[in-house]
Structure 1
């Protein structure tokens, strides 16, 4: 591996934004550590990525479990020697429900994956990056992380938390040469959003959902040298939905 080749971990790489980011970054000659809970989806992404980039591995992991997070961090270090960028992207939705009807088990699951999973990723990756005195992290929040989201209260709570973690980490670790930013997509055409019905008006001024590549393009910019002074930013990618 070229020692100048950027090593990137992507969680939630098995589908949606994570898979599209993996495909794009493979074409940009990044060494990749692909992480997903779903073994089949993760391996499928790896097969696609391998057409462009041989320096790629897949690690099956539940991001809500410390031992699994340590596993993918250790795999990155053992395989590539360092971690240059971290796309902290894994997440789940819950069936739409009023807060009063949202069951506790569903709420706990959404918070566990979306918020605790993001926290654990930060916790263990930041330690490695701090030793290196370099690195860049992109956390996937949501438009629901900066405004209320009717019928998706648990999801909105989790993504508001991701925004808070992002801003805190950016302040704490900026002096160590580490940049931490968040992206806030609106509606994106992924398997996760297929069950959510919406009218064109609900998708914002552009009257459509985003293609995952439109989000991946912003991720690729944020981990690049061109974004070297972007830190602590919360970037909406929602077609003007939250304007």
Structure 2
């Protein structure tokens, strides 16, 4: 493998002394869409937050394109779970997207015409220009998710982390999001996505990580996303899949 976009070594994260992510090690190549899947409570969101230093880790080393997270922070985009955001915060859609430019500006310099134009371009990419001046609390769930995706695009990052971006959105928004993720990949960007819908994994992702507190398997989706490894990851909970999902898994 060439220089990894992301390399994680022996990462352990615990809440109240109970490991949630345990001795996780993996690396992923640049320019891929990577799905992180696993049962509820598997540590998927915690893994991303640990990599981004949003939660403390007990142990582990993380390098992004061969450098530390701190030195690469401006090159990293993050879309959190929608429910973790305070949507009552008094700001409009355009201001949220312009926040994605602060890493380029520095905190002391105010965004100007160029940043506003860039933010509007990103809103246009997600079909939200007409909502630029709308308060974020007045937007639907799908619209809010598009705004946060536009903010990530405004960062012009090299590697993106997205925590369940498809949850609570309509089919049109999901289609728009995956199209944007494909475009990012075509530009050589690396995108890691926490994902829960097993029926779309083969369609969406080049690589798949199966996670259940530990990395069960990681690699090209066609090699990893197979019933044997899924059963190891989900255990008896795999039986609750719908017939449609099960059929797709077995193809």
Question: Which TM bucket (shorter chain)?
Answer: 0.3 to 0.5
TM-score using structure 1 length: 0.34
Whichever structure has more strand as a proportion of its residues is 2
